Amino acid sequence: MPHTKNALSFTLHLADTALILAQRNGEWCAHGPILEQDIAITNITLDLIGQARNFYQYAARLHEANENAVTEDSLAYLRTEGQFKNLLICELPNGDWAQTILRQFFFSTFQMLLFEKMKQSNNTQWVAIAEKSIKETHYHVKWSSEWVIRLGDGTTESHDRITKALDTLWMYTGEFFIPASYEMIEVTALKNEWMNKVKEVFDEATLTIPENVFMQTGGKNGVHTENLGFVLTELQYLQRVFPGAEW
């Protein structure tokens, strides 16, 4: 059934994306620049883990017809780099606070638009997950937008740092809107609105959207940056060392 196969791939893409970004953001926990913000980024990490679990659990059910042993954990812990379908931007190292913030802003703004669209799909599971998650995503957008503005319009140093982060990250934003064959939401159509939202925040942050940048892609189809292997090595270590154990 190609329809189920596409639904599975797309669900895994959404789950992997949330999980890998959570894995990265989680690195900030206990190391944030100020206690309140340590709590905030950790909160976002928790929200993303929650989303990942919802999508993985649904993906496991889509599998069930032919495979019994598939669970949220087997999907997260026992697939390899080439099987992961997350967006490349999620697997990049955190860099400094500016890079982490800017990535969150780009991603959450996109995710908000995506979930809005998902709410109108005819897949009831996606609708349910999107409805639950979008409230959190609105907060992620608000929080990260405020920080982009603060850093862009803060000090010379913060402006320089976020400009550098922009230079690093921009080439990974095109992938949001380049559809994979399995993608069941028309992501190309979200681009204009995303650009408008970014422009609005950038204007206030005194930042400029780069032009004519060649966009990186591949994550949705399992072709990743060199970073993902390291992320998965840490993530999956215990499940790999002790196969079949319950935790």
Partner 1 sequence: MEIYNLEKAFQEKIDKEIKIEPKDWMPEAYRKTNLRQISQHAHSEIVGMLPEGNWISRAPSLKRKAILIAKVQDEAGHGLYLYSSAETLGTSREQMIDDLHSGKAKYSSIFNYPTLTWADMGAVGWLVDGAAILNQVMLCRTSYGPYARAMVRICKEESFHQRQGFDALLVLSKGTEEQKAMCQDAINRWWWPSLMMFGPKDSESTNSDQSMKWKIKRKTNDELRQNFVDMIAEQIKLLGMTLPDPDLKWNEAKKQYDFGEINWDEFWNVVKGNGPCNKQRIAARRKAHEEGEWVRAAALAYAEKKQLRTKAKVA
Nearer to partner 1, 60 or 88 (CB): 60
Provide, rounded to whole angstroms, the least separation between the CB of residue 199 and partner 1.
20
How many Å apart are CA 35 and CA 33, to the nearest integer?
7
Given phi > 0 = left and psi -120 to 50 = alpha, else beta, which region is 46?
Answer: alpha
Pick the closer one to partner 1 by CB: 113 or 137.
137
Does position 23 interact with partner 1 (CB under 8 A)? The reply is yes
Q: Is 123 in the site for partner 1 (CB under 8 A)?
A: no
CA-nearest of 169, 164, 242, 142 to 21 is 169
Q: Is 3 in the site for partner 1 (CB under 8 A)?
A: no
- DSSP alpha helices (H): ranges in the chain? 2-25, 35-64, 72-77, 88-91, 97-118, 124-152, 156-169, 191-205, 227-241
Around Cβ 23, how many Cβ atoms within 10 Å? 21
d(CA 94, CA 40): 16
Per CB under 8 A, 43 contacts partner 1? yes
10 Å CB burial of residue 116 (0-12, 13-18, 19+) is: middle
Q: Is 35 in the site for partner 1 (CB under 8 A)?
A: yes
**Of 196, 199, 209, 242, the one binding partner 1 by CB under 8 A:** 242
- We find the least distance from the C-beta atom of residue 212 to partner 1, in angstroms, to be 29
Q: How far is CA 11 from the centre of its chain?
A: 13
Determine, following the binding rule CB under 8 A, whether residue 42 of this chain makes contact with partner 1: yes
Per CB under 8 A, does 97 bind partner 1?
Answer: yes
Comparison of 19 and 185: residue with beta carbon closer to partner 1: 19
Which one of the spans 26-34, 108-116, 131-139, 210-218 is the region binding partner 1 (CB under 8 A)?
26-34
Burial (CB count within 10 angstroms: exposed 0-12, middle 13-18, buried 19+), residue 243: exposed
- Nearer of residues 49 and 185 to partner 1, judged by Cβ: 49
Is 69 near partner 1 (CB under 8 A)? no
Among 8, 20, 26, 91, binds partner 1 (CB under 8 A): 26
- Examine residue 229 and tell whether it contacts partner 1 (CB under 8 A): no
* Farthest-apart Cα atoms in the chain, separation: 58
Nearer to partner 1, 36 or 211 (CB): 36
Distance CA 97, CA 161 (A): 9
By CB under 8 A, name the binding residues for partner 1.
19, 23, 26-27, 29-39, 42-43, 45-46, 49-50, 52-53, 56, 72-73, 76-77, 96-97, 149-151, 153-155, 157-158, 161, 234-235, 237-239, 242, 244-247
